Structure 1
Amino acid sequence: MTPADLAAVISDGVHKAIQSGRISGEAPREIRVDRPRHRGHGDYSTNVAMRLARSAGLPARAVAEVLAPLVSAADGVAKAEVAGPGFLNITLESAAIGALARDIVLAGAAYGRTERLGGLRLNLEFVSANPTGPVHIGGARWAVVGDVLARLLEATGADVSREYYFNDAGVQIDRFARSLLAAAHGAPAPEDGYSGAYIEEIAAAVLRREPRAAELPESEALTVFRTEGTALMFDEIKTSLVAFGTRFDVYFNEKDLHDRGDLDAALARLREGGHVFEDDGAVWLRTTDFGDDKDRVLVKGDGSWTYFTADCAYYLNKRSRGFERVVIMLGADHAGYVGRMRAMAACFGDAPDTHLEILIGQLVNLVRDGEPVRMSKRAGTVLTLDDLVEAVGVDAARYALARAGVDATIDLDIDVLTRQSNDNPVYYVQYAHTRLCAVQRRAEAAGIGKGAPQDFDPSLLSHAREVDLLGVLAEFPQVVAAAATLREPHRVAHYLEQLAGTYHRFYDACRVLPRDGEDPDDRTRARLWLTDACRVVLGNGLRLLGVSAPDRM
């Protein structure tokens, strides 16, 4: 029985109590079920009586005393006891606890998936680095967190579109083109340009495509280097992201917004709403009406668009494509964008809390021998995604970036992440998976199978370590749902480490396979179901993180 199953049992008891008139009020839409810290307090605990007390007009303990016998009478529940100010401590029958092992194995890859966010159409934009250089290490963090969050949202029932905003218009692209042209002439980069070995490589690649590009008049040469250079750079960015296990459904070009007249359409829409005014020769959006710290310029005095106008047009484009919620993941240097973006959504008539969500991530540092690693082989002073993968590998990099909350700056220690020991968190979790696979291989080599599902006796999984392991396995669907709804992918990594540790303690205390000369029995087979269930959940969790689940290491 999972916490979700037990929540349904409790909900049924609440509805019976209300229908019978023993308590009044309205049943909560969601019932929280937690595992007590102390085993003596039962397998699970709920505070539902406290939540009902006010509407029922009764003390919480009195409500709990009404619910206790109704919950106790349910199949799989051994007893429900009132504790403290009104908690219900619930103990399950051993068979109800153990049956979860079989349920997990039979569910396979589907275990952990729910429909908590079913019906939600969501656009998730992340990375969106300008095509003026390789993805830097901060972008690598979003490449993981965004990808994992998309996987979690889909596992919770949402319809997710992963989107990369390709900034192929504006001043930065002009600087990039001038830098490439300078490299093609063997000259140093402009003062405000880009430098690094990658600039020389891209410039050389442009010349292989267009051998006479550097000899053209400057304006024509810049057009060639802008067009070809950004295409080559973006191809390289895509290649790096794919190798990192990060995929996108849509690559959206900023230039298309300009070419189609989307900025004019967005401005017209904002005018219709009465939020646009003119001052000092410029066109402004009155975002202060919706909490921004100052109004924002849409059209400069020289008639050129601002970046913010493109942001407005892009948001409107996403909403016109039918996305109910637009989620944008930005780096720490963009924290100031939150207020203006929320105000912009309100100017379009949207509810920012409903239709727009902006996540801000902090910086990433790479450390070796206790000292920051600052220099990139290709990109000068900017460390790149490829540098990170070269240093620690894809699995270690993804896991390390996913296991930290995005609101915290993290130091990735190369020495730890390349170490094959329990100090390395990804190794610790992957090793648990390989250990489980090894048990399966030894069982098969000895001719020992789990047996048919109908022959599995769940009541035999009653050892304290077995019950602990089953309890952790039961939490996986809730962890996935919480990680998705709270936008906290690190919850999955922390859960997997907890599960790995719980499994290791079980393995040390409970012999799974018989010793030489001993025959397997029903307990052997029950424990094989349990180890297989643990393998399934570790594998499912690692796949949500985009990390491999090896069967050998």
Structure 2
Amino acid sequence: MTPADLSSTVLHAVRRAVDEDALRAPVPARVRVERTRPGGRGDYASAVALQLAGPAALPAREVAEILRVRMAGAPGIGRVEITGPGFLNFTLDAAADAAAHGALVRQVLERGTRYGHGDALAGVPLQFSHAREVRAAVTADAVRRLVRAQGAPVRISCHSTSDPDWARLGIAVDAHGQPPVAVDAHGQPPVPPAELPTEIRPVPAGAAAGELLARLGPDATRWGLLRPAGHDRAPLGGELLVQGAGNPLFLVRYAHARAHAFTLGARRLGFTSDPGRAVCEEPEALALLAVIADHPAVLAAAARHRAPDRLARHLEAVAHAFFDFHDAASPLPAGDEKPSAAHRARLALAEAAGTVLAGGLSLLGVSAPPYL
């Protein structure tokens, strides 16, 4: 059971309690669950009962008990406990959790770089507009990729003629010219508001595309422009080219290359990946599985909020989790050790991580070379 699955299970319990008139409170849009801290009980915890206590006019522990009885025995949950003033603590069913983890890895490997793509924005035509400025153009292009991955048709316009160097950054513009004014002479919208383009306006890069390409190349330029939030200045110095763990772009691409190297190494040793229960035995594997499971939600949120930086930061989290896993439990046997079920399962998880990294980089317009 992933954190998203557990959140949905808790939310279902809240809805059920409200429908049964056991709880009189508004149903939240989502329920937050997080891993328990060291010394805490169970695998995950939620403060939803404390959040609902006020609106329900009930003590938080009583709200927690109402929810606990409605989650006991739910698939994937082994035990639900109440601690402190009303925290719900969840211990997952190990057997069901292991099966879910194997299914997650298989899903990633089957869908490939399209894992996490969905239809959340299907049928919603979107229009974006931006100034003749490189960061705005790169951001609009990344937003186009993200919303298309969620099923939306997209059209992008630039206020004036495109910079010819943008083509070297993979940028395409559908139309040129200023978007229509927001109101006419009578103060009324000249077109339905939904048809007005959304303006993409990050803090300008302070340099032209040609200069950035000459100094950094296309991949580092795009990453440097997209990694910071749009309201922050984009650092565009030589640190983007450093081949070290302190450079997030290098870290993400190197993690992808290492995952590829594991596949080649296993092939030389005569075995292939196979998701299985053994993948769930190491804490580092569980942490990597958790960030992989978060990938679809991250893509949907990045598309919805027009925020490619969310995806970039998520890829960094996947890379960090991959290297923790890489250091703790190698997918390749050491010395004269024979490949085991654990090695095959770890290899499958490493390949899934590499797949997520490749797919995410592609949506940012950044290449994911198999070798660095």
| Shift in alpha-carbon separation, 1:465–1:46, aligned structure 2, 3 A | same
Matched, 1:252 2:176: yes
| Shift in alpha-carbon separation, 1:411–1:511, aligned structure 2, 3 A | closer
- The answer for the alignment partner of 2:89 in structure 1 is 89
- The answer for the alignment partner of 2:310 in structure 1 is 491
How many residues are matched? Answer: 368
- The answer for the alignment partner of 1:60 in structure 2 is 60
| Shift in alpha-carbon separation, 1:459–1:438, aligned structure 2, 3 A | closer
Equivalent residue runs for 1:101-112 within 5 Å: 101-112=105-116
| Shift in alpha-carbon separation, 1:252–1:140, aligned structure 2, 3 A | closer
Question: Aligned AA for 2:314?
Answer: Y
Q: Is the 8 A contact 1:122 1:325 kept in 2?
A: no
CA–CA distance in 1 between the matches of 2:88 and 2:203? 41
Q: Post-superposition shift, 1:489?
A: 1.9
Q: Post-superposition shift, 1:56?
A: 2.9
Question: Aligned AA for 2:125?
Answer: R
Question: Aligned AA for 2:5?
Answer: D
Equivalent residue runs for 1:228-377 within 5 Å: 234=161, 237=163, 239-248=164-173, 250-253=174-177, 270-271=185-186, 316=190, 319=192, 323=194, 326-330=197-201, 361-365=202-206
Matched, 1:396 2:191: no
Q: Is the 8 A contact 2:278 2:342 kept in 1?
A: no
CA–CA distance in 1 between the matches of 2:348 and 2:137? 36
| Shift in alpha-carbon separation, 1:81–1:494, aligned structure 2, 3 A | same
Question: Aligned AA for 1:461?
Answer: C
| Shift in alpha-carbon separation, 1:76–1:430, aligned structure 2, 3 A | same
Question: Aligned AA for 2:200?
Answer: M
Q: Matched residue of 2:214: which SS?
A: helix
Q: Is the 8 A contact 1:61 1:86 kept in 2?
A: yes
CA–CA distance in 2 between the matches of 1:12 and 1:36? 21
Q: Post-superposition shift, 1:38?
A: 4.4
- The answer for the alignment partner of 1:148 in structure 2 is 142
Question: Aligned AA for 1:544?
Answer: L
Q: Post-superposition shift, 1:26?
A: 4.2
Q: 2:235 aligns with which of 411, 420, 429?
A: 411
Q: Report sequence identity in percent.
A: 34
Q: Post-superposition shift, 1:3?
A: 3.0
Q: Is the 8 A contact 1:120 1:324 kept in 2?
A: no
Matched, 1:435 2:258: yes
CA–CA distance in 1 between the matches of 2:253 and 2:281? 27
Superposed CA deviations along residues 266-308 of structure 1, whole A, max 9, x for unmatched, are: 98x533x6x7xxxxxxxxxxxxxxxxxxxxxxxxxxxxxxxxx
Superposed CA deviations along residues 191-215 of structure 1, whole A, max 9, x for unmatched, are: xxxxxxxxxxxxxxxxxxxxxxxxx
Matched, 1:123 2:48: no
Q: Matched residue of 2:159: which SS?
A: strand
- The answer for the alignment partner of 1:384 in structure 2 is 208
Matched, 1:165 2:159: yes
Superposed CA deviations along residues 54-106 of structure 1, whole A, max 9, x for unmatched, are: 44331222111221243241111222332444332333234425232223222
CA–CA distance in 1 between the matches of 2:77 and 2:354? 27
Question: Aligned AA for 2:273?
Answer: K
Question: Aligned AA for 2:113?
Answer: A
Unaligned runs of 5+ in 2: none
Q: Is the 8 A contact 1:94 1:458 kept in 2?
A: no
Q: Matched residue of 1:270: which SS?
A: coil
CA–CA distance in 2 between the matches of 1:122 and 1:64? 42
Q: TM-score, normalised by structure 1?
A: 0.61
Q: Matched residue of 1:80: which SS?
A: strand
Deviates more, 1:463-472 or 1:480-489: 480-489
Q: Post-superposition shift, 1:437?
A: 0.3
